């Protein structure tokens, strides 16, 4: 079952979250995007308010760039540098975005994946990849009608 963790109780006073970041991997793809976009158009993709990070992307890109490298270290270095220099701007952006997800996850101190982070780390839901469900859990958690254990 998903866990909701609040880092900042003041975040419960806000309405909808201003920003959502999803950290996952290929085995657990994000779902519920269409339903979330219908219910909350500000999170329709593409959106600066919604970022989805595939934490497997770095390994996949590195594997792609290192495939078939020569056994000789000097030659491998030359071939790798040549491959890097011929990357298209879109591929460079893809590489940067892949690393951005890993760096951001470390910044937040995330300990499990998948994780849905609201408003720059004010609230985190672990174990949920359905964005509509995660948003519902967030709303239920911050609701003033919820009971405190």
Which secondary structure element, helix H or strand E, spans residue 117, and what is its range? strand 115-118
Q: Which residues pair with 115 in a beta bridge?
A: 23, 126
- The structure tokens listed for 33 are 């995007």
Which residues, in sequence order, are CB contacts of 97 under 8 Å at separation 6+? 53, 57
The larger pLDDT score, comparing residue 90 to residue 7, is at 90
Q: Which residues pair with 118 in a beta bridge?
A: 20, 123
Q: Are strands 20-24 and 50-54 parallel, antiparallel or unpaired?
A: parallel
Which secondary structure element, helix H or strand E, spans residue 3, and what is its range? strand 3-6
Supply φ then ψ for residue 88, to 5 degrees. -70, 160
Closest alpha carbon to 79 in 90, 65, 89: 65
Q: Share the mean pLDDT of the chain.
A: 84
Residue 125 confidence (pLDDT): 94
Q: pTM of this prediction?
A: 0.76
Residue 30 confidence (pLDDT): 93
Over the stretch 61-99, which tens digit does the pLDDT of each residue have?
A: 889 889 999 999 999 999 999 998 998 999 889 889 889
CB 102 within 8 A of CB 116: no
Which residues, in sequence order, are CB contacts of 87 under 8 Å at separation 6+? 95
């Amino acid at each position: 079952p998903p866990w909701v963790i609040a880092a900042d109780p003041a975040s419960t006073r806000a309405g909808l979250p201003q920003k959502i970041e999803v950290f996952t991997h290929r085995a657990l793809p994000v779902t519920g995007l269409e339903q979330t976009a219908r219910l909350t158009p500000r999170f329709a993709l593409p959106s600066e308010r919604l970022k989805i990070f595939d934490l497997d992307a770095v390994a996949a890109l590195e594997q792609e760039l290192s495939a078939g490298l020569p056994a000789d270290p000097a030659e491998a270095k030359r071939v790798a540098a040549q491959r890097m220099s011929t990357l298209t701007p879109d591929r460079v952006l893809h590489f940067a975005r892949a690393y951005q997800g890993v760096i951001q996850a470390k910044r937040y101190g995330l300990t499990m994946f998948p994780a849905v982070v609201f408003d720059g780390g004010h609230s985190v839901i672990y174990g949920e990849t359905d964005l509509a469900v995660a948003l519902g859990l967030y709303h239920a958690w911050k609701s003033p009608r919820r009971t405190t254990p």
